[in-house]
Every structure is written in C-alpha cells, then in structure tokens.
C-alpha cells in the first residue's frame, strides 16, 4: 500500500475553536498531521499541554468510526496498555459536521520514524507482542468492523467471523479486475485460494478486539529507555481472530513480535499460525483494495500481485521459483 498521505485544512478554524474551548485559553501552536485518505488529524498546544484532534471528513465514509476508536482506547487503557487518554468525544455535530474526539498526545516517537537498527528494534518488537497479547484478551460481541449498537454498546457488524472476513473478497476482486495495472491472470488464483481454505475461518467462536492496522507507525517508544510509550490510531478497529492483527506489520518483524506474544519461543516455523497468517494477508489486502483502488491503482495492483503470489506459494499452488 502506498505511503502517500494528505492534509485537509477545510475545517481548521473550527478545530482551533474546539481546542481553545477545551484548554480554556488561546493556543500557542496548531499543526495538522498528515494522514491517509479522509482522516483529519490536528495537534493543538496551549503552553505546555498538548492534545490530538481526530475527525473523519464528512464527505468520506464511516464518519462515526472515531467513536469506536475512542471506545477502543478506553478498553485498552483499562487493561494497562499505553493507549492515549480520551479527553472528549463529541457526536453532536454542533461545532463540526461530523463526530470528533480529543485525546492525549502520547510520549515518545513513532517506531517507524525512529528507524532503529535491528538490535535496538528487537526489544520494542517484543514489547509490541506483549501489548498485542493483552489487547487480544478484550472480548467483543459480533465480528468485523466495530459499530455502535442502538443501545449504545459497541459490537462487530456481523454475526459470524466467516461473513466478516470474506466481506471484501468479491468487491475487492471486482475492483482489481478493472485496474489497468493488475494482471488479471491472478484473479482466478486468488479466488481459488480463498475458496479452498475457508475452513480456516470456522474455528473462531469469540471475537477479540483488533486494532486492524498495526505497524510500527502506530506504536510509540522512547529509544533512550527502550520503553513502549503508546499505541494509537484504532481507525480500523474490529472484532475477530487475533491473527488478523499481524499481517499489516512488515513481515520480517512478525517472528520477533510473536516471541513477545508467546506464540513461539524459537526460530522454528510458526506452526498452525502460518496458514491463518497467509490467508488473512490476502483477505486483508482485499479490504485495502476496496478502499484505495481508485486512489493508488498502480501501488495497489503491485501490492496485491505480491500478496497473491506469496499466499499461493505458501499453500502450494505455485512453485517458489515462479
């Protein structure tokens, strides 16, 4: 997936007022954070205190997801994880045309930006694995993208994991078929893999809270102390199988993260984890295709071709040298 990000300053004046009302005094600085697609993220500072504002562009989709994101932060903090404190959730749309949240600015720097040497990165990857394991102790009713139920509770959109996990398959493949940068010979291979391994989805009887978009960019740390200081951006929060949360990491990091998680304690193969990992990698990238095919068609086509081939190799549909 492309690393392109954007800024949206359309509502900057209104956002400034939100910060100043919260702090009770004028801001000393206001800066926008670049973000993917339709997220609008700002950092406001008044003297020595800072907060982060997040809203989904009202012209986009899933404008209410920031409410579920705030809920996820609170669930994680209750488990002792370094998620930001939620200062405010406003669903009234009285000051802005979509719900927004204000949260704590976590300490440290994001671990992708830190660009640590492997021997310095490993302690953080272990801690990330430990943190994810704790997050996955949080049970959530339903499966798939989190939604707010009529009674105000948060649950997954679907009643079973198989339906949730496969929801993006046909829409994603349809978009790939129309993508001029994609080799359509791979479409049938992708369909075959998905169809032949659906039994992987039948083993889940309880959904767990998933971050949904894990990567080093969403973990903060202090390189001087090797302390994990934050986990942020639950804009893709879901309920489902914990293995789903590993596929967005750089794959070369996963083995070390799994050591922290407690799945493996040697350098041997992942065991039963592997089939789920590769299958979910394909399903997950089809979710990205549904959302981003029009924005980054060439990047998306190249990424999907790589994933389909890697997954097909794992399951034995093509030889490693192909």
Q: How many Å apart are CA 245 and CA 317, to the nearest integer?
A: 25
pLDDT band at 302, cuts 50/70/90? very high
* CA-based end-to-end distance of the chain: 23
Residue that the structure tokens 């600085």 belong to: 29
- The CATH class of 109-314 is alpha beta
User: Quick one: pLDDT at residue 34?
Assistant: 77
CB 185 within 8 A of CB 157: no
Is the predicted pLDDT of residue 7 greater than 50, yes or no? yes
**Per-residue pLDDT tens over the stretch 163-190:** 999 999 999 999 999 999 999 999 999 9
- The correct CATH number of 12-104 out of 3.30.750.24, 3.30.365.10, 3.40.50.450, 3.30.200.20 is 3.30.200.20
Distance separating alpha carbons of residues 313 and 322, to the nearest angstrom: 9
Distances (CA, A) of 53 to 5, 11, 90, 282: 17, 12, 11, 33
pLDDT on residue 142: 96
- Model pLDDT for residues 198-247, shown as the tens digit of each residue: 999 987 889 999 999 999 999 999 999 999 999 999 999 999 999 999 99
pLDDT at position 319, please?
80
Residue 65 contacts residue 56 (beta carbons within 8 Å): yes
In whole angstroms, what is the distance from residue 186 CA to residue 170 CA?
14
Q: What is the pLDDT of residue 287?
A: 96
Kindly report, residue by residue over 108-126, the tens digit of the pLDDT. Answer: 999 998 989 999 999 999 9
Q: Is the pLDDT of residue 307 over 90?
A: yes
Contact 217, 241 (CB under 8 A): no
As a whole number of angstroms, the distance between CA 319 and CA 150 comes to 50
Residue 92 confidence (pLDDT) above 60: yes
On whether the CB atoms of residues 189 and 308 are closer than 8 A, the answer is: yes
pLDDT at 2: 42
List, for residues 264-283, the tens digit of each pLDDT value.
765 555 667 899 999 999 99
Q: Is 266 exposed, middle or buried (0-12, 13-18, 19+ CB in 10 A)?
A: exposed
Residue 33, pLDDT score: 87
The domain ranges of the chain are: 12-104, 109-314
Provide the pLDDT for residue 104.
Answer: 98
């Amino acid at each position: 997936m492309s690393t392109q990000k954007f800024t949206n300053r359309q509502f900057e004046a209104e956002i400034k007022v939100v910060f100043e009302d919260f702090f009770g005094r004028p801001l000393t600085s206001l800066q926008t954070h670049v973000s993917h697609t339709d997220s609008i993220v700002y950092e406001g500072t008044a003297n020595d205190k800072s907060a982060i504002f997040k809203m989904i562009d009202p012209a986009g989709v899933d404008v209410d997801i920031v409410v579920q994101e705030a809920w996820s932060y609170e669930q994680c903090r209750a488990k002792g994880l370094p998620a930001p404190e939620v200062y405010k959730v406003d669903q009234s749309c009285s000051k802005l045309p979509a719900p927004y949240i204000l949260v704590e600015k976590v300490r440290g720097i994001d671990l992708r930006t830190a660009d640590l040497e492997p021997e310095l990165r490993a302690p953080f990857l272990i801690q990330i694995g430990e943190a994810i394991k704790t997050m996955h102790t949080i049970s959530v009713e339903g499966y798939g993208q989190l939604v707010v139920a009529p009674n105000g509770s948060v649950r997954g959109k679907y009643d079973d994991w198989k339906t949730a996990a496969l929801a993006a398959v046909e829409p994603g493949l349809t978009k790939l078929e129309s993508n001029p940068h994609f080799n359509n010979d791979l479409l049938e291979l992708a369909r075959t893999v998905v169809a032949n391994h659906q039994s992987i989805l039948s083993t889940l009887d309880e959904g767990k809270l998933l971050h949904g978009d894990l990567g080093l960019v969403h973990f903060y740390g202090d390189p001087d102390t090797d302390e994990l200081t934050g986990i942020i951006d639950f804009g893709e929060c879901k309920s489902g199988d914990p293995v789903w949360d590993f596929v967005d990491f750089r794959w070369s990091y996963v083995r070390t993260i799994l050591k922290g998680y407690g799945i493996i304690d040697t350098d041997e193969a992942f065991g039963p984890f592997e089939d789920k990992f590769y299958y979910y990698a394909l399903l997950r990238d089809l979710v990205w295709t549904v959302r981003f095919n029009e924005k980054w068609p060439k990047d998306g086509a190249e990424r999907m071709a790589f994933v389909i081939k890697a997954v097909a190799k794992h399951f034995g549909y093509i030889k490693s040298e192909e």
